[in-house]
Structure 1
């Protein structure tokens, strides 16, 4: 269970959390209104996060999605190739420090690593001018649905039946029939298998954004990172080992830093920027913007990623959000999840005995 890193007097700590909560609540409201999806009688971030909890349970102090993960640190070494398309300082030649997080999708921080085929990578780039770029990527080629409402309906269809403990096949079938846009994701999922290493995965930023160059011209883009490491340890996922990904990552980093190339794809006229279920044609121009280097890993309950909300709308000058409706929904839901888990860790005792008991009960 996550715990505050530095003890504070109860009164000052409580005041700090109240202030943080107030600021984030305003941010949630502002983002929701701008996105047009947070309105009376419509979907709200609270409803989305509540549904995650219904599906997998509530684990106090943990993220409501991508709950199981590890912190990583390193840097991005820009080669300057993306400077012509974005004025963001991160793309100037040189290094930008990075705090990241590898994780599994889902709300259960004790889920076996082999339970899902998807791995995620979230990154926070901190520029020399203080501005940040935060992004979340996944090891899949498309997102299942295109709108927050459809995603909420998907979560509802996946809610376990109390009688069986598993989703109702009839409800899932009805959802897929009503949402033919899920076909591309379902085709990918049929052949996807849980990998034995975070280090050998390609991670895609499935949403479109705009790079803005020094002249103010906007360029629609998507990005992904491609690993230099390609060999997975066949012995990593031993039978009965539920946590092999973190161990494999630590072992690899003891030997050498891990590297990925950040590739930026430029859209052409007609390529959709508002639909994460659709890929762009393979012949679109791709730019190698530099190398992501991961140097170390630490547990998420004490590492530098613990208190980071990887909000995809935290962007530096030179990068702007597209018209993808999933972006404001993700941002608002992340803020709600952050408020919940940090208020819980601020009030719950965090003794080793209680943490051990929680782990045992969760399994």
Structure 2
């Protein structure tokens, strides 16, 4: 029997190198090597730190809210830029949630903070489009790291009820977009109703048409109700649940409606930075009308146990290069898992409507 031929060193080294690279890739993906990466739990903990205490069973952000339901009537115009079934002519059921910023479900509505609308739109083919939108067209920070820094710097000092000025100064030095956002909020009209606010996608997304052309798009829901503003000088005089009580009373009289406006990016528009607004003329498409005809406390609504992850999208709509989108998805998941493990909670607003003392 002839002796075995020795294996040339080249292939051995190559195979060993590939194996080493695979091990390194696994370790990097697991977060065991390389720079510390931010995960959803990191951001969720920052939100809890900002609030000062955990509110068991409630969302870590936008803790105060009520459920909504209605429908979206697509007019077909959106099909020009996307193959999503939601843009084909027809009427599709929608459930969602109105909320205000912050992690305290018992916070007053008399604050100059953003109001929010979250939606889940379903089409007959089983696809879902989940949206989480604010009434501001820009976001204060461009990244998850910036959001964590924002939560730490804006935690109210128990002695003054306001953030530490030194920490805010350092934050703005690192993230000038925070000051730009503060200036915007100070000057902008604060909607007097959840029904007369425009709700923005904040991030850019992509939409792909039947010919395979992909465009960057932001969208907003523009209300049919005329915009009127709250008196910012006397916000402290508003009843605690003023916005929600007004929306409940308004909806009892009739539905509220918004037009879905798709705004197509111009060359040069920033698509990876939610702190920057798109300015100047843009092409836009009115894709249909959202009708909200019911609002209800979370105990009896369908929104309480929903995760409104904005990266859950139907075919024809995709993610942009904005890094906040991946971060938002992780945070929504982390927050959902934590509150799901804490058990259901009574809606603070629902408890008030029932004449009961809210859970504390």
TM-score tier (shorter) = 0.7 to 0.9
Q: Kindly indicate whether residue 70 of structure 2 is the aligned counterpart of residue 74 of structure 1.
A: yes
What stretches of structure 2 of length at least 5 have no aligned partner?
Answer: 1-28
Answer yes or no: is the 8 Å Cα contact 1:131–1:316 preserved in 2: yes
Task: Give the TM-score normalised by structure 1.
Answer: 0.82
Q: Separation in 2 of the partners of 1:270 and 1:316?
A: 27
Aligned match of 1:42: 37
Return the match for 1:174 from 167, 170, 173: 170
CA drift at 1:183:
4.0
CA drift at 1:258:
0.5
Aligned counterparts, 1:275-314, within 5 A: 275-314=273-312
CA drift at 1:196:
2.5
Q: Separation in 2 of the partners of 1:82 and 1:43?
A: 36
Q: Kindly indicate whether residue 181 of structure 2 is the aligned counterpart of residue 185 of structure 1.
A: yes
CA drift at 1:80:
0.6
Return the match for 2:90 from 72, 94, 104: 94
Q: Separation in 1 of the partners of 2:288 and 2:189?
A: 29
Label 1:335 to 1:277 Cα distance change in 2 as closer, same or farther (>3 A): same
Report the count of equivalent residues.
Answer: 322
Q: Separation in 1 of the partners of 2:137 and 2:344?
A: 37
Aligned match of 1:160: 156
CA drift at 1:252:
1.3
Aligned match of 2:239: 241
Label 1:243 to 1:84 Cα distance change in 2 as closer, same or farther (>3 A): same
Answer yes or no: is the 8 Å Cα contact 1:99–1:125 preserved in 2: yes
Q: Separation in 2 of the partners of 1:175 and 1:304?
A: 38
Q: Kindly indicate whether residue 337 of structure 2 is the aligned counterpart of residue 339 of structure 1.
A: yes
Q: Separation in 1 of the partners of 2:141 and 2:279?
A: 19
How well do the aligned residues superpose, as a CA RMSD in angstroms?
Answer: 2.7
Q: Separation in 2 of the partners of 1:264 and 1:82?
A: 8
CA drift at 1:301:
2.6
Answer yes or no: is the 8 Å Cα contact 2:109–2:238 preserved in 1: no
Task: Give the TM-score normalised by structure 2.
Answer: 0.83
> Matched residue of 1:83: which SS?
helix
Return the match for 2:264 from 263, 266, 272: 266
Q: Separation in 1 of the partners of 2:278 and 2:236?
A: 37
Label 1:346 to 1:139 Cα distance change in 2 as closer, same or farther (>3 A): closer
Question: Deviation per CA, 1:312-346, whole angstroms, max 9, x where unpaired?
Answer: 11000000000100001000000000001111016
Aligned match of 2:115: 119
Q: Separation in 2 of the partners of 1:116 and 1:181?
A: 18
Q: Separation in 1 of the partners of 2:40 and 2:97?
A: 22
Moved more, 263-272 or 328-337: 263-272
What stretches of structure 1 of length at least 5 have no aligned partner?
Answer: 1-32
Answer yes or no: is the 8 Å Cα contact 2:110–2:237 preserved in 1: no
Question: Deviation per CA, 1:175-198, whole angstroms, max 9, x where unpaired?
Answer: 102212334312202224543210
Answer yes or no: is the 8 Å Cα contact 2:110–2:236 preserved in 1: no
Answer yes or no: is the 8 Å Cα contact 2:110–2:238 preserved in 1: no
Aligned match of 1:359: 358
Question: Deviation per CA, 1:144-171, whole angstroms, max 9, x where unpaired?
Answer: 1111111111111112335444310110
Which structure has the larger Rg over C-alpha atoms?
A: 2
Q: Separation in 1 of the partners of 2:69 and 2:46?
A: 32
